[in-house]
Amino acid sequence: MLIMRHELLLVLIAVILLVVEIFLPADRKHRIILPAILMFAAATVIGFLPGPTGTLFGGMYSTSAFTVLLKNILTTGVLIVLIQSVDWLKKPQHKEKISEYFLLIIATLIGMEYMISSGDFLMFYIGLELATIPIAALAAYERFEEKSAEAGVKLIFISALSSGILLYGLSMIYGTTGTLYFSEVVNGIDGSPLQILAFIFFFAGMAFKISLVPFHLWTADVYEGAPVNVTSYLSVISKGAAVFIFTIILYTVFAKIALMWRDVIYVIAILTMTLGNLFAIRQRNLKRFLAFSSIAQAGFILLGIIGQSQLGMTTVVYFVLVYIFSNLGAFGVVAIISNRTGKETIDDYDGLYRTNPKLSLTMMLALFSLAGIPPVAGFFGKFFLFTAAAKEGLYILVLIAVLNTIISLYYYLLVVKAMFLNRSDQPIAYFKSDAYSRLGLVLCIAGIVIVGFASPIYEMILRLSFGIY
Amino acid sequence: MNILLLFIIIPILTIIGILFSKGQKQTRLIAAIGMGFQLIAAGVLIYLFLAERSAGNTAEMLFNSNWVWYESLNIRFNIGVDGISVAMIGLTSIVIFAGIFASWEVDDLPREFFTSLILLSSGVFGFFISLDLFTMFLFYEIAVIPMYLLIGIWGSGPREYSAMKLTLMLMGGSALIVPGLLGLYFYSNPAGGPLTFDILEIAKVNIPIEAQRLFFPMLFVGFGVLGALFPFHTWSPDGHASAPTAVSMLHAGVLMKLGGYGCFRVAVFLLPEAAHEMAWIFLILTTISVIYGALGAIWQKDLKYINAYSSVSHCGLVLFAILMFNETAMNGAIMQMISHGIMTALFFALIGMIYGRTHTRYIDEMGGLMKVIPFLGVAYVIGGLASLGLPGFSGFVAEMTIFVGAFQHADTFHRVATIIAASSIVATAVYILRVVGILLLGKINNEHYEHLTDAKWYEKLSTGVLIFGITAIGLAPLWLSDMINNGLGPIIKKLMMAGPIN
């Protein structure tokens, strides 16, 4: 029981929400928000408490200190997302489906946690599906908005396609090794042509989920169409979970053919960073802008994965942690402004600092963290990723990556320029954001500032990731 | 407590104070008090350092403290100073102090202005006291980024363009530095023990020559961008011309020195073999910098552009001297950094003050200003004379040392390079005297100028501090050059092991 405590707690919350939802009168549906968030916060805190580790179902499901850490990182991120969405959920047109939002988010989170804890490909696949399909419903949450509905449909098609490809790859692995258990597949991996084909399918399927170039084409449209808070969930939590399990499987199951996937990742990393960055420069809509920036960030993460060592695993997890706080900070600001004024383009942000200084400063810190500028955490995250790649002697790759951070700095500075340098005739007027949004942003800023300076966090990840590699 | 920590703590306290201040007057007062303490701390540091040295402490770095930060990566917060860094800290304190008074009249978002300015200076201080490459790089980037806001918000002319260009080019430099630093890190312990970012530890290791050939150009060019190495200097004229007064001062005076300092402390010191091998390439580039900057200054009509190009020339001379690999020339390089730092800060301060009165920076539109603003005029002449290397001022000491050192190389290549570089002094004289002639002497060509007022007390304080610095070095250079020599010892020794030096 306790081994599965993360998932079971979430299931419990989901059931409670479902039951309460039935008994709430229609005009009081919004009252569910605070209890739901409190319950989720309690679950987050409980997740950090020490508990037993072990395997269940004959090895299909396993919990270690490391998977607990990954789950806690994701849960913390989701908590921030939930807090940030309150302001938006309170809009009158969402009155009737507030608890659905929580249910869907929690369902996907359960899927991600199963995925991370999976000990065989079947469990992994079920978790993956559970983590993707509800998101499509979330993307279409504002179903009367054309773009939102479009985003939902696009996401479901892409998910189905990528899952199909992935599944095809898994079937080949089963065909060649005769098993689906990670621990047994490892022994059967010998680099035969069919297995390499299987690996390519697996890789492509995961690349869709992480939105690596050339499998990224859905990202910008879906990110733009979906409601801001769903976009931030999609770009941070969903991507983070996929990165975690992708790294774990590469490092454990496919460790033997590392020489083959290293070159693939080398090329894909360069493509992803460069194309993501170059497309981001052209964007005027902030959601599309952040979509492409998140594609580029995924490219940087590959640099850590290519490290293929304990250092690599640690830096990837550390970077995702930093990325969660930074990106949620940026999306948080975009969400607040979008909810209050409906403005979403960079030009709308002209002169924002003079009317809303605190929001602008938060945005600047978050963007600097994404760009990797000290003293905020993004600098440490990026630098350590580069360290992992340099450890393998890939100095040229590091150089290309750092040059890419300069490109990214350019477009992040464009937003800073709009907020701080430009003057506008009609700036976004001063407004006071609600307590939830502010709490969400404060949490993000705390994360952005503290995670970098507090080396114990990094050391803890390093210690726990020991078992994986 | 380690006295060096003061150089991080005082700026942070000052920034906190500024955040709680209200209005322009309070803000600038707090900034001035904070940076005043900083100046005093720098004075105390110089005194303690000299006392320690004369008491016979021969450790390479004094006031050393070493805290573990990221244990598994062996990243440390390791601080300590030798004579060179002490001199640079002194320079920074003087320039930032003068800079606060030069921006006494900033009224648009004063809190943000002084916060960014002091944040920048804290990055510079941190850079100079760091002995760990990781923290050194961290502070380096902290020093570069506030620049964007400072130029973009408070600048003039094409400020957005200049700010973006400057930031991206400097970050481009640091893009080269990152793989270089990681290379040093992973080669820092060939025996297989824990790796380290510690400069002094890496200096004990002999990095294989193939690796040096890869990383030396990255590091030298990377830092060289900030030191306005040709052809990566183009950010400098635009950036300096658009920046507000205090930022130009700090940038040309101190930030460009980070480049030179990084070049010799990291690139040349840690990768000496490759430095010997590749010096000729960079020597050609720096020679071009020196002469090109000086000739460029002659053609300009905008006071700030003149001074920016002259900075390219002077900073080129710093890198030029570093590449000579002998004690005299390198000593001159450090002297030149200090001397040019103060001198150019003085120039930019004066240009800002003159601009504040005449509302133009084009020399053609001004004339005869000496009659109406004699204090600023005389200060300008003093700066000019120091810049063209008149004995008695700091410029003479520095340039003389550099060229004497450079001429010790007997081969034709070095001789020719030295002669070309030395001829820049003539060009310098041309543009300085030309400006002084047009700007200050002659008839007043605009009746509005007859009612200009001379320097106010804060302007006098700002320029006075800087002029004091120039003359102090010019008249008594020995204490400074002794201090520098002290720090150069280990670097020269390392270079000697790598190859013959003159």
Q: How many angstroms separate the CA atoms of A216 and A299, rounded? A: 11
Amino acid in the structure at residue A142: E
CB distance A20 to A32 below 8 Å = yes
Task: Give the predicted TM-score (pTM) of the model.
Answer: 0.91
Identify any residues that bridge with A63 across adjacent strands, giving them in sequence order.
A54
Q: Is A216 helix (H, G, I), strand (E, B) or coil?
A: coil
Residue B133: how many other CB atoms lie within 10 Å: 27
Residue B218 forms contact with A (CB below 8 Å): yes
Report CB contact under 8 Å: A455, B153: no
Q: How far is A203 from chain B (nearest CA, A)?
A: 28
Upstream peptide bond of B231 is cis (omega within 30 degrees of 0):
yes
Interface size, chain A vs chain B, as Cβ–Cβ contacts under 8 Å: 83
| Res. A79: pLDDT tops 90 | yes
* pLDDT score recorded for residue B280: 86
* pLDDT score recorded for residue A74: 92
Report CB contact under 8 Å: A455, B69: yes
Amino acid in the structure at residue A453: F
Residue B196 forms contact with A (CB below 8 Å): no
Q: What is the pLDDT of residues A291-315, one digit of tens each?
A: 888 889 999 999 888 877 888 888 9
The closest of A76, A80, A33 to A439, measured between CA atoms, is A80
Report CB contact under 8 Å: B148, A374: no
Report CB contact under 8 Å: B71, A384: no
Residue B160 forms contact with A (CB below 8 Å): yes
Residue B480 forms contact with A (CB below 8 Å): no
For residue A284, what are its two tokens?
């005027």
Measured between CB atoms, which of A384, A391, A402 is closest to B175? A402
pLDDT in tens, chain B (502 residues): 788 888 888 888 888 888 888 888 888 888 888 888 888 888 888 888 888 888 877 777 778 888 888 888 888 888 888 888 888 898 898 888 888 888 887 778 888 888 888 888 889 999 998 888 899 999 998 888 888 888 888 888 788 888 888 888 888 888 889 988 888 888 888 777 788 888 888 888 888 888 888 888 889 999 988 888 888 888 888 888 888 888 888 888 888 888 888 888 888 888 888 888 888 888 888 888 888 888 888 888 888 888 888 888 888 888 888 888 888 888 888 888 888 888 888 888 888 888 888 887 887 777 777 777 888 888 888 888 888 777 778 778 888 888 888 888 878 888 888 888 888 888 888 888 888 888 778 777 777 777 777 778 888 888 888 888 888 887 887 888 888 887 887 888 877 777 766 5
Residue B145 forms contact with A (CB below 8 Å): yes
* Helix A5-23 / helix A65-89 crossing angle, nearest 10 deg: 20
Contacting B with CB below 8 Å, chain A residues are 368, 373-375, 379, 383-384, 386-387, 390-391, 393, 395, 398-399, 402-403, 405-406, 409-410, 413, 416-417, 420-421, 455, 458-459, 462
The average pLDDT across A251-259 equals 83
Q: What DSSP element (H or E) covers A380?
A: helix A377-391
Residue B152 forms contact with A (CB below 8 Å): yes
Residue B70 forms contact with A (CB below 8 Å): yes
Report CB contact under 8 Å: B72, A458: yes
Measured between CB atoms, which of A375, A403, A413 is closest to B138? A375
Strands B62-70 and A54-56: unpaired
Partners of A405 on chain B (C-beta within 8 Å) are 171, 175
Measured between CB atoms, which of B71, B153, B179 is closest to A402? B179
| DSSP alpha helix (H) spans, B75-191 | 83-102, 110-129, 133-144, 146-154, 159-186
Q: How far is A200 from chain B (nearest CA, A)?
A: 30
The average pLDDT across A220-249 equals 89
Q: How many angstroms separate the CA atoms of A198 and A205, rounded? A: 11
Residue A204: how many other CB atoms lie within 10 Å: 18
Report CB contact under 8 Å: A395, B167: no
Report CB contact under 8 Å: A398, B172: no
Q: Is A429 helix (H, G, I), strand (E, B) or coil?
A: coil
Identify any residues that bridge with B65 across adjacent strands, giving them in sequence order.
B79
What is the band of A105 on the pLDDT scale with cuts at 50, 70, 90?
Answer: very high
* Helix B272-299 / helix B303-322 crossing angle, nearest 10 deg: 160
Q: How far is A421 from chain B (nearest CA, A)?
A: 5
Burial of B186 from C-beta contacts in 10 A (0-12 / 13-18 / 19+): middle
Measured between CB atoms, which of B148, B149, B172 is closest to A406? B172
Complex prediction ipTM: 0.89
* pLDDT score recorded for residue A65: 85
Report CB contact under 8 Å: A416, B148: yes
Amino acid in the structure at residue A454: A
Report CB contact under 8 Å: A413, B167: yes
* pLDDT score recorded for residue A467: 61
| Res. A469: pLDDT tops 50 | no
- Residue linked to tokens 């907020």: A419
* pLDDT score recorded for residue B360: 79
Q: How many angstroms separate the CA atoms of A366 and A323, rounded? A: 9
* pLDDT score recorded for residue A353: 85
Question: Which of B170, B171, B189, B242 to substitute to test the interface with A, most A CBs within 10 Å?
Answer: B171
| Res. A77: pLDDT tops 90 | yes
Nearest CA in chain B to A364: B149
Question: Residues 6 or more apart from A461 whose CB is under 8 A from it?
Answer: A69, A314, A317, A318, A321
The average pLDDT across A206-228 equals 86
Q: How far is A313 from chain B (nearest CA, A)?
A: 14
Measured between CB atoms, which of A373, A384, A391 is closest to B141? A373
Domain boundaries, chain A: 2-467
Upstream peptide bond of A214 is cis (omega within 30 degrees of 0):
yes
Partners of B163 on chain A (C-beta within 8 Å) are 421
Partners of A416 on chain B (C-beta within 8 Å) are 148-149
CB distance B188 to B201 below 8 Å = yes
Q: How far is A228 from chain B (nearest CA, A)?
A: 28
Q: How many angstroms separate the CA atoms of A4 and B3, rounded? A: 53
Partners of A384 on chain B (C-beta within 8 Å) are 73
Measured between CB atoms, which of B152, B168, B186 is closest to A390? B186
Measured between CB atoms, which of A402, A417, A459 is closest to B178? A402
* pLDDT score recorded for residue A322: 92
* pLDDT score recorded for residue B418: 86
What is the band of A109 on the pLDDT scale with cuts at 50, 70, 90?
Answer: very high
DSSP state of A428: P
Partners of B153 on chain A (C-beta within 8 Å) are 420-421
